[in-house]
Structure formats: structure tokens, C-alpha cells
Amino acid sequence: MSRKWTAALLAGALALTGPAGCGGEDAGSGGSGSGGGKITLGFSQVGAESGWRTANTKSIQESAATAGIDLKFSDAQGKQENQIKALRSFIAQRVDVIAFSPVVESGWDTVLKEAKDADIPVILTDRAVDSQDTSLYKSFIGSDFVLEGKKAGEWLVKEYEGKTDTVNIVELQGTPGAAPANDRKAGFADVIKADPKFKVIASQTGQFTRTDGKEVMEAFLKTYPDIDVLYAHNDDMGLGAIEAIEAAGKKPGTDIKIITVDAVKDGMTALAGGKINYIVECSPLLGPQLMDLAKKVKAGEQVPQRVLTEETTFTQEQAKAALPDRKY
Ligand code: AHR
């Protein structure tokens, strides 16, 4: 992922708060669904696996209503085949713009080509695809997941600075093949590899859900009595793991240090309460920028090929301060 996006970033990717610009190709006018009136946007969502996803869906639905865009929303229930069917249905309906958050990175070229041949512009949101042909989509709006993994690793390195004992880490990965799972793993590994005291003793998918996070952590706890750190690719898996840790008679945040990604309200509450030690933020509030991009591509304006989300990190003290105003 970082390989692909290095090129895009060098080509002029913009931060969300940055000035409007044009890093991408000519956007074209798109399909003929609304004939110049109200824009029709077909959106295929991953599913409802996490608090992050719920907040993301809400952001997209509310922003479409505010922007006066006719949203055709489809829930893929975590399955790529459902997303491909939804995209084909959007093409058949001749929507003006298609947007989707790909369940996994690979396997999109054929359907994206079908959209391109139908002259319907596609915008990727949240997650990337690994297509080599970047003309298959107009823009990709979302986080830098490799950077998120790096931030998690950097906190850990600092936390154990000056210590020499081995640090046993278990990792709960997101959905296999999904960009955030691949990239958060890679970014974290890249940072901790510099110090051999950090050892990832187990790494398994928890599917980005609380239920699986809990189940896998239960198994980790049975197999490995000396876990020092849990790195979970999202808050929900971390929250499930906390239940498993408590059930095993250990204190989350103290006996086992916990780092997660997302910073949704439930995660932030656990962080403020001392059960999580550090959260790397991943913003789900992509709706307003998506609607803006959809209007631009429909109008034939040029849009940046990469729109990066601005994000921060939270310690326990910072979570206490941020919680009262947290929107999701
Ligand atoms: O793609 C974003 C990730 O997907 C979020 O971090 C996770 O919670 C969600 O399921």
C-alpha cells in the first residue's frame, strides 16, 4: 500500500484541510442517471462490523441528505461478492457516481473497468484497491493506514524506552486482505523491528469485530501466559479482548498494555478509564468530503487522486479531555 500511495502522494495528494487542487486526471461527466438535476450516488458499504463503520455510514447518509444527493446505499455484509453485485446494479441503474469502501484490496479490476466503460466515475472511500490502473477510479479519500500502524509502534517503543526485557506482543488483525489490516500490521512491524526485545508472539484475525476479538484473545491467553502488550487493529477488537482479559483475572491497561486504532466513543471511554493505553485515531467522518468530490466529478471538474484524512493520537489523559466533545 505505501508503495502505491507514495507515487500518488508525490503526484500532489492533498490533506483534507488543504487547498482544493487537481492531482488526478480529467474527471469526465459520468453517467446519465439524473440528467443534470439531482445527483444519484450509488454507495456500497463494507457492512456494520464496528463502531467506526456505524459512524461512517451515518456520516455518509447525513451528508448526502444535506448535500441534496440521492443516495442509493447498499450494505455488503462483509462480502466482496455482494459489493461486486451492488456495483453492477449501480451501473445497470446508470447512477451518476459510484463510491465504495472495498472489503478487501484485490479483485476489483473487472468491475471497475465495467464502470469506466459505462462512463460512470468511481470514488474509493476509506479503503484502497490494489489495481495498477489508477484510471479506473477518480479519487481515493481516506486514512494512511501504514502511518496509523507506525504511530502505534512509536508509542510502544517510547513506552519501553531504556528497558531491556523481552516484550511479548499479541496482535489482533482486521479482516484478512483488507487494506487497514495489511497496512496497520506492516506499519507497526516496520517500527518495532529496530529493537529485538519486541516480539510478536501471536498474530491472528479478529475480523474487526468485538466477538471475534474476544474469542481470539481468550485463545491467546490460554496459550501464552506472559503477554505484555496487545495491539488491536481497531477499538472493537480491543474492547472484546478487554472482556477476555478481565475474565482471565488480569487487569487490562496494567497487566497487559493495549494499543488500538479508531478512537470511537467506546474505545475512548475505555482509554479514559485506564483499560486501553493508547489509541491511534482513524476518522470515519468522510461523508462531507465524499459528497463534495461526487459533485465535482459529476460536473467534470478535476479532483485530487488522493485525499488524505487528518488524524491524531490519544493518551489516557487526552482521551479524558476529548471525550465530552467526541461526536462518534
Ligand atoms: O477501514 C476502516 C476500518 O474498518 C476501521 O478501522 C475498522 O474499525 C473498520 O471496521
Q: What is the DSSP code string of 260-296?
A: EEE--HHHHHHHHTTS--EEEE-----HHHHHHHHHH
**Whether residues 193 and 63 fall in one domain:** no
Residue 262 belongs to some domain of the structure: yes
pLDDT tens by residue, 11-61: 333 333 332 222 233 333 334 444 457 999 999 999 999 999 999 999 999
Residue 101 belongs to some domain of the structure: yes
Which residues in the chain land under pLDDT 50?
A: 1-35
- Pocket probe mutation, ligand 1, options 129, 282, 283, 311, max atoms within 8 Å of Cβ: 282
Q: Residue 164 belongs to what domain range?
A: 145-282+315-325
**Whether residues 112 and 208 fall in one domain:** no
**Whether residues 161 and 121 fall in one domain:** no
Ligand 1 within 6 A of CB of 57: no
Ligand 1 within 6 A of CB of 126: yes
Query: DSSP assignment, residue 135?
Result: G
Ligand 1 within 6 A of CB of 183: no
The β-bridge partners of 40 are 70
**Whether residues 153 and 118 fall in one domain:** no
Residue 4 belongs to some domain of the structure: no
**Whether residues 134 and 228 fall in one domain:** no
- Pocket probe mutation, ligand 1, options 1, 44, 45, 46, max atoms within 8 Å of Cβ: 46
Residue 6 belongs to some domain of the structure: no
pLDDT at position 327, please?
87
Residue 202 belongs to some domain of the structure: yes
Residue 205 belongs to some domain of the structure: yes
Ligand 1 within 6 A of CB of 180: yes
Query: DSSP assignment, residue 126?
Result: S
pLDDT at position 37, please?
78
Pairing of strands 278-281, 313-314: antiparallel
Residue 296 belongs to some domain of the structure: yes
Could you give the CA distance from residue 86 to residue 74 in angstroms, rounded to a whole number?
7
**Whether residues 31 and 107 fall in one domain:** yes
**Whether residues 157 and 219 fall in one domain:** yes
Could you give the CA distance from residue 321 to residue 326 in angstroms, rounded to a whole number?
10
Q: Which pTM value belongs to this model?
A: 0.90
Number of separate domains in the chain: 2
pLDDT at position 36, please?
53
**Whether residues 210 and 176 fall in one domain:** yes
Residue 260 is which amino acid?
A: T
Among the residues of the chain, which ranges form H helices?
Answer: 2-10, 51-67, 80-93, 109-117, 145-159, 179-192, 210-223, 235-247, 265-272, 287-298, 316-322
**CATH number where 54 lies:** 3.40.50.2300
**Whether residues 269 and 321 fall in one domain:** yes
**Whether residues 36 and 137 fall in one domain:** yes
Residue 5 belongs to some domain of the structure: no
Torsion, Cα 226 231 235 238, to 10 degrees, reads: -20
Ligand 1 within 6 A of CB of 53: yes
Please classify residue 56 by burial: count the beta carbons closer than 10 Å to its beta carbon, then call 0-12 exposed, 13-18 middle and 19+ buried. Answer: buried
**Dihedrals φ, ψ of 135, to 5°?**
-75, -5
**Dihedrals φ, ψ of 87, to 5°?**
-65, -40
**Whether residues 30 and 129 fall in one domain:** yes
Pairing of strands 70-75, 40-45: parallel
**Whether residues 235 and 162 fall in one domain:** yes
pLDDT at position 8, please?
40
Q: Whose CA is nearest to atom 3 of ligand 1?
A: 180
